Amino acid sequence: MTGTHEDGSPPLPVRSYDVRSDVDLESVMDAKTLGPNGGMVYAVTYMQKNIAGIIENIISASNPPHPGGAAVPTPGPPYYLFDCPGQVELFTHSTSVASIISSLTLPPHKGGTLGCNLACVNCLSCAQTFDAAGYISGCLVSTMVKIRLELGCVGVMTKMDMWGQQGGKDWGLKEYLEGGDMGRLVQHLDVIGVASPPDHGQAEGEYRRVRDRVKSSRFHARHARLTRALGELVDDFGLNGYLPVGVNDGGSVGVAVGECDKVNGYGICVIEGGEGGEGGGS
C-alpha cells in the first residue's frame, strides 16, 4: 500500500493469507468426489476442526519475519478482512462458519487468540431488485444469515451501476434500500414460466392473454400467498437495510467502511491519550 493518511501518518501495511494453502477446494473435490457446493461445505468443516492452526497461520502472516528472523512489528492493532465464499448453504444450513467466527472473536481472557471485533458485511446484488420474488428471497437469506452469525451486520447493495438499466420498475431505490413492507411487492410478482413481453405487435397481445390466464391459476395464487408470508416474516424481524455501493464510486465505499467501523467498535483506532483497541475486522 502506498500513500499516507490525512494526518500524515503512514498507512497500515497490507498482508494476506490464503487459506487454500491449508485446504484447497479443487483438491477436496477430486479426493472426495464432490461437486463445488459439497466440496465447499467439506472444506469449511475442515477449517472449523483445524481452526487453531489456521489462526496461528493468520498471526504469522500478519507479522512476517525479517530476513534475520525477527518478526516485523505492525504499527498499531491489526485490521482483519475475511473474504467469505458466496454459497448460502454455508450460512443457512451449516454451523461451521458460525463456529469459526466464535473462535475468531473469543477474547484472550476466555482462552481465545485473536479476539477480533468483527462486523458482518452482507452483500445483496442490485440485480435482486429486478423482480419482486428475487428481492424478497434475497432479503430472507440475509435475515437467516444475520440471525445465525450473531454479529453486528452492515447491509450493502452492490453493483449499483446496474440500477439505471433495469432497477426500480416496482419500487423506488429508497424502498429497496430500506428493505421493509415486503407485502407491497407481492402484487408485482412475475408470472413463472411466461417469457418477458415483446416490444410491440400481435405477439404482445398474446403474451398478455397468457399472463392473465396464468395469474388467475391456482398455482399463482398459492405462490403469491407463500411469498407474502415470507415477506411478512422478513418484516417481523426487521433486520434488513442496505447501503448503496458502486465500485467506481469511492464515496459510497467510504460510507460502507465507516459503517463497518461503527459496528466493530472502531477496533483499529488509537484513542487519543490511550492505547489502541483490539483487532478489528469484517
d(CA 176, CA 163): 11
Q: 3-state SS of 144-203? A: HHHHHHCCEEEEEEECHHHHHHHCCCCCCHHHHHHCCCHHHHHHHCCCCCCCCCCCCCHH
Q: What cell was used for 8? A: 500524515
Calculate the CA 278 to chain-centre distance. 23
Structural domain contains residue 56: no
In a domain, 7, yes or no: no
Grid coordinates in use for 182?
415486503
pLDDT range class, residue 260, cuts 50, 70, 90: very high
- The residue-averaged pLDDT of 53-72 equals 75
| Residue 9 belongs to some domain of the structure | no
Residues 95 and 261: their CA atoms lie apart, in Å, by: 26
Residue 25 lies in a domain: no
Task: Say which CATH number the domain at 115 has.
Answer: 3.40.50
Per residue in 199-254, pLDDT (tens digit) is: 555 566 766 776 677 777 888 788 888 888 999 999 999 999 999 999 889 999 99
Number of residues that this document lists for the chain: 282
Q: By residue range, what is the domain housing residue 238?
A: 76-281
Question: Residue 258: inside a domain, yes or no?
Answer: yes
49 grid coordinates = 476442526
Q: What is the mean pLDDT of residues 179-205?
A: 64
| 132-179 pLDDT, tens digit each | 888 999 999 999 999 999 899 999 999 998 887 765 566 788 888 998
19 occurs within a structural domain = no
| Residue in 248, 191, 241, 254 with CA at minimum distance from that of residue 220 | 191
The SS3 call for residue 280 is strand
- The answer as to whether 225 is a domain residue is yes
- Give 178's contacts (C-beta < 8 A, 6+ positions apart): 241
Whether residue 198 lies inside any domain: the answer is: yes
At 281 the pLDDT is: 65
Domain count, the chain: 1
